[in-house]
Amino acid sequence: MLSRRYGERVARQDPFIPRSTDPRVQRSRAAVIATALELLTERGIAATTIEAVSERSGVARTTIYRQWPGQAELVLDAFAAVLRPPADPDTGTLRDDLVELTTGLARALSTGPAAGLMLALMDAAEREPSYAALHRREAELRHAVILDVITRGIRRGELPAGTDPAEVLDLIAGPIFHRRTVSQGTVDPAFAARVVDRVLLAYRHP
Amino acid sequence: MLSRRYGERVARQDPFIPRSTDPRVQRSRAAVIATALELLTERGIAATTIEAVSERSGVARTTIYRQWPGQAELVLDAFAAVLRPPADPDTGTLRDDLVELTTGLARALSTGPAAGLMLALMDAAEREPSYAALHRREAELRHAVILDVITRGIRRGELPAGTDPAEVLDLIAGPIFHRRTVSQGTVDPAFAARVVDRVLLAYRHP
DNA sequence: GCGTAACGCTACGCGAGTGTAGCGAAAACT
DNA sequence: AGTTTTCGCTACACTCGCGTAGCGTTACGC
């Protein structure tokens, strides 16, 4: 299972390919993905077997095999179904944009469906190339929004010219992740705002 | 395997219990733990089976079962064997203490034996109580050193009175973790120093 | 309405890993 | 030197999940 090699199907399943408008297909597909996400959250990647998904979802095992080559492809599809980049808030000020995005990240990591999934994906990405690719793609999409916001802030003069947007990103998103996954503290909007304000303060005085 | 319940043996294996001075026991124990760590790094927790450890280490499967009840206990012992808290650098200044600790963290996450293990432990901690306990204990030991350093800095007046040490910790350690695991950038001493200086700057002006 | 496609179900062989038992050989303690 | 402990090995029964094949039934599309 873990030594499976990932074929071309994984490579080209970018968002994902419906390929069939038959409501029966879409129904079973949706049920399978939803159940897979449940199992991923509750028990992790390794325990999210086709067997287990079939049993809980009520969709026959053979039906699942008709739509996915194997466990890895199904899990990747499930991940892809929840990892959505945030919208650009564009409030007008860098501070409010960042607070908005950071609050969203904090919420996603605490209560959202992706809460328990992020670490599973990150861990899998350490070893399995296809998970690494998905993780990279997801991070890039999410970061693109944040980097845009920061770059806009620099252009407006809310951050000094020459500021490295990627560094600001790490300084802001990092503490949220860290508090959630290592310090095990609460990551609420107040904490998110505190982080943003503190980091912006660090750039105010050269 | 993943649904195993963890008995009392896990609970009381705090550092770990030699319980035997027989060199044969210690030899096989060491070989097994070393191999388990290799497999954990290369393939993750789920693939680190007793079977696989036995095959690679050359230690018979039955011998492993004589010393550990099952896979979970062995993996926990292996984790516990590498997670060591850093020493207090105590250079005299907060800045240098933090740079030292942060550089050490960056190195540990990039090149050390714990590099590929941290995420595996964090992910497992999301679902399995015994892994969560180990992760918490490890984080507490590591954080205790950092919090000491920060508190000392506050007492010396290098940070404003009333500063929350835990917040400073998240602000400094967070970006290191984030850059390593999400942004996928390089976490070298230069980056570590940049983070420390930037965060300290944020507290210089109230 | 009629043909087709997807469904659920059963069945089968297979591999991997688990956990236990018994045995002779070798190494360690005393 | 003699006893005890640990070791490696073989064997066994068992579970879980994989992946495929065939078949009757149901629900869709035209």
Q: Is the pLDDT of residue B8 over 60?
A: no
pLDDT tens digits for A4-56? 222 333 333 333 444 678 899 999 999 999 999 999 999 999 999 999 999 99
Q: Tens digits of per-residue pLDDT, B61-112? A: 999 999 999 999 999 999 999 988 999 999 999 999 999 999 999 999 999 8
pLDDT recorded at residue A113: 82
Provide DSSP, chain A. Answer: -TTPPP-HHHHT-SS-------HHHHHHHHHHHHHHHHHHHHH-TTT--HHHHHHHH---HHHHHHH-SSHHHHHHHHHHHH--PPPP---SSHHHHHHHHHHHHHHHHHTSTTTTTHHHHHHHHTT-HHHHHHHHHHHHHHHHHHHHHHHHHHHHTSS-TT--HHHHHHHHHHHHHHIIIII-----HHHHHHHHHHHHHHHH--
The distance (Å) linking the CA of A106 with the C1' of D13 is 50
Residue A47: its H or E element: none
**A1 in any annotated domain:** no
Last residue in a domain, options A41, A58, A81: A81
A177/A91 same-domain check: yes
Kindly list the residues from chain A whose CB atom is less than 8 angstroms away from the CB atom of residue B204.
Answer: 205
Say yes or no for a CB contact (<8 Å) between A195 and B42. Answer: no
Q: CA A31 → C1' D28, Å?
A: 19
In terms of domains, do A123 and A196 share one? yes
Does the pLDDT value for residue B6 go beyond 50? no
Nearest nucleotide from residue A58 CA, by C1' atom = C8
Nucleotides of D under 7 A from a protein CB: 5-11, 16-22, 27-29
Q: Report whether A84 contacts A63 (CB < 8 A).
A: no
Number of domains comprising chain A:
2
Give the model's pLDDT for residue B168: 98
B154 to B44, B87, B161, B193: CA distances (angstroms): 41, 20, 6, 19
CB atoms within 10 A of CB A53: 27
Name the minimum distance, in Å, from the CA of B91 to any CA of chain A: 24
**Could you say which of B81, B103, B123 is where a domain stops?**
B81
Average pLDDT over residues B184-202: 97
Last residue of a domain, one of A29, A47, A81: A81
Domain co-membership, B34 together with B73: yes
Residues of A in contact with B3 (CB under 8 A): 47
The nucleotides of chain C lying under 7 Å from a protein CB are: 5-11, 16-22, 27-29
Which one of B146, B178, B191, B203 makes the best mutation probe of the A interface by having the most chain A beta carbons within 10 Å? B178
**Residue A3 falls within a domain, yes or no?**
no
Q: Is the CB of A25 under 7 A from strand C?
A: yes
pLDDT over 60 at A93, yes or no: yes
pLDDT of residue A114: 86
- Residues A146-190 have pLDDT tens digits of 999 999 999 999 999 999 999 999 999 999 999 999 999 999 999
Residues A115-154 pLDDT 10s: 889 999 999 999 999 999 999 999 999 999 999 999 999 9
Residue B158 sits in a domain whose CATH number is 1.10.357.10
Together in a domain, A40 and A104: no
Same-domain status, B108 and B67: no
Which of B181, B185, B195 has its CB closest to that of A171?
Answer: B195
Q: Could you tell me the residue range of the domain that residue A16 belongs to?
A: 8-81
Give CA B86 to chain center in angstroms: 10
pLDDT for A49-77, tens place per residue? Answer: 999 999 999 999 999 999 999 999 999 99
Please determine, for residue A100, whether its predicted confidence score (pLDDT) is greater than 60. Answer: yes
Tell which of A168, A171, A179, A195 to mutate to test the B interface (max B CBs under 10 Å): A171
